[in-house]
Chains A and B, each alone.
Chain A
Amino acid sequence: KQEVTQIPAALSVPEGENLVLNCSFTDSAIYNLQWFRQDPGKGLTSLLLIQSSQREQTSGRLNASLDKSSGRSTLYIAASQPGDSATYLCAVDNQGGKLIFGQGTELSVKP
């Protein structure tokens, strides 16, 4: 059974720092991995999707990497801003669209 773990559960950094969020999964036979952002009381916003054949994806200050063999993905946020404060969720798809989510990392960026 696929299990997704995100460490740390919470992270607080000063504005301007570069930071890395981690996601690990137990079954490497995935089709893709998605990173989402969730603001308090809101729905999820897709940030990046990495297909299983890809190693990384970039969007603005965000870069996500995928290492299927080791069951790991990282989300790199450059030059963090207070507006980046949110919960970040990773999810893997190994059954054709049925996502398995991690519990999330709650990020706080202090001005």
Chain B
Amino acid sequence: NAGVTQTPKFRILKIGQSMTLQCAQDMNHNYMYWYRQDPGMGLKLIYYSVGAGITDKGEVPNGYNVSRSTTEDFPLRLELAAPSQTSVYFCASSYAVRPFSYEQYFGPGTRLTVT
């Protein structure tokens, strides 16, 4: 199993550009998440999904959009990139039966710089 994979690993965007960060998991997990980590800080939840077709906002959703058309994939869309979106983005997945969730497995991250 590859676990959680993310592409690209690095990206530099100009202000106002858009891009999609890709995330895929092959563990048949029902829950998937997107986090961002700013330097020296913990992670903050951007969006999450409890299953295909169902998404919800986390703590810091502004400036981002997500979709989940399959169990395996959970792309994160940045529209009109801003310098404040410079960060490292992590995708994660877990198995959960509400309200209980289990270990979250993380991808290697995408380092994004907006200039």
Which A residues lie at the B interface, using CB under 8 A? 4, 31-32, 34, 36, 42-46, 49, 51, 89, 91, 93, 96-104
Which B residues lie at the A interface, using CB under 8 A? 4, 31, 33, 40-45, 48, 50, 58, 90, 92, 94, 96, 98-109
B40 touches A93 (CB 8 A): no
List residues of chain A with CB within 8 A of the CB of B92: 44
Using A34-B104, A44-B90, A46-B105 as known contacts, say yes or no to A97 and B44 having CB atoms under 8 A apart: no
Give min CB distance, B12 to chain A, whole Å: 17
Give min CB distance, B80 to chain A, whole Å: 26
Q: Beyond A91-B42, A96-B101: 11 further Cβ-contacts under 8 Å?
A: A44-B43, A44-B106, A45-B106, A89-B43, A96-B96, A96-B98, A97-B50, A98-B45, A98-B48, A99-B43, A104-B42
List residues of chain A with CB within 8 A of the CB of B106: 36, 43-46
State in angstroms the CA–CA spacing of A46 and B97 once bound together. Answer: 19
List residues of chain A with CB within 8 A of the CB of B4: 43
B107 touches A98 (CB 8 A): no
**Closest B residue to A104 using CB positions:** B42
A34 touches B48 (CB 8 A): no
Q: Which of A31, A36, A44, A101 has the most CB of B within 10 A?
A: A44
B102 touches A31 (CB 8 A): no
State in angstroms the CA–CA spacing of A62 and B92 once bound together. Answer: 23
State in angstroms the CA–CA spacing of A98 and B48 once bound together. Answer: 8
List residues of chain B with CB within 8 A of the CB of A104: 42
**Closest A residue to B43 using CB positions:** A101
State in angstroms the CA–CA spacing of A4 and B33 once bound together. Answer: 19
Which of B45, B94, B108 contacts A43, CB < 8 Å? B108
